[in-house]
Amino acid sequence: TFEGPMMSIKAVNSLSHYTDWTIGHVHSGALGWNGMISFGALYYLVPKLWNRDRLYSLRLVNWHFWLATLGIVVYAATMWVAGIQQGLMWREYDAQGYLVYSFAESIAAMFPYYVMRMMGGVLFLTGALIMAYNLYRTIRGDLREEVPMGAEAPAMQPAE
């Protein structure tokens, strides 16, 4: 990705090293890339391994995808912003050469970002729980009647 080589640049690394930026970077790869690949593999393999025609619900797959995607974007972007703020706070000196912010002040400033991080994690987890439910129902052999997304529902017949 672009972010890894960018973090190796001295000016960027001096700002982001040991901050929450690195946490956002790692989680965007771990959850955003590895997680989504794993989800896709499970969606492909479970119907094959249990000899099912299809997944229980494709709509639930769509809900899972968007909740997980939104969750990881909120999670990672929040950590990137928090990391920049941490880096800037940790390297700000006053006229006498003392740090302007104590370490405790920099941690206290992270609270709103950690709340947003938690909200992103909850969205991601909600998507994963939807996937688990969908796979459970698939393994049981249940099928949900669904109109394909984007298609119109069949017209109702008029009453006589």
Beta carbons within 10 angstroms of residue 60's beta carbon: 20
Quick one: what percent of the chain has pLDDT higher than 90? 64
User: The whole model's pTM is what?
Assistant: 0.83
Which is nearest to 42 in space by CA: 123, 144, 136?
136
Closest CA to 137 of 29, 77, 57, 23: 57
Report the length, in residues, of the chain: 160
How do residues 86-110 score in pLDDT, each as one tens digit? 999 998 999 999 999 998 999 999 9
Residue bearing tokens 């990391």: 83
Instruction: Give the amino acid at 101.
Output: Y
3-state DSSP assignment of residue 136: helix
Average pLDDT (20-46) is 92
